[in-house]
Amino acid sequence: MSKEQSNQKDDKALHIGSVVSGYLIRFNEVDEWGNMFLPNLVNLDSLNQMKISGKIKDYEIDNKGVKVIKDFKIDSASI
């Protein structure tokens, strides 16, 4: 393997990423600040703006709550 091929392989290893998902809001449960969210109070415009701006990749609303899907890049995380 040439030095250039080795460097390319190392560069790819640095940009490891994945897609993660989790609930942003859970319906009918009290959060740590004492707030409870109901399904009819979800602001779809806000979620769509987050999607357009790239803060989230997508979102899903089900009977449990609002689940967001987001790209996660390990090389941009601080440890």
Per-residue pLDDT of the chain (79 residues; tens, 9 = 90+): 544 444 444 444 444 568 888 998 999 999 889 999 999 989 999 999 999 999 999 999 999 999 999 887 766 555 5
Whether 34 is in a domain gets the answer yes
With respect to residue 63, please indicate whether it lies within any of the assigned structural domains: yes
Within a domain: 5: no
pLDDT given for residue 18 in this prediction = 81
Cα dihedral 44/47/52/55 (nearest 10): 180
Task: Assess if residue 6 is contained within a domain.
Answer: no
pTM, two decimals, is 0.63
Q: Domain count of the chain?
A: 1
Q: Report the pLDDT value the prediction gives residue 19, as an integer from 0 to 100.
A: 81
Identify the pLDDT of residue 14: 46
Q: Is residue 38 part of a domain?
A: yes
Domain assignment of residue 26, yes or no:
yes
Q: Report whether 66 contacts 23 (CB < 8 A).
A: yes
Residue 2 lies in a domain: no
Residues 62, 37: Cα–Cα separation, whole Å: 13
- Domain with 53 in it: 16-76
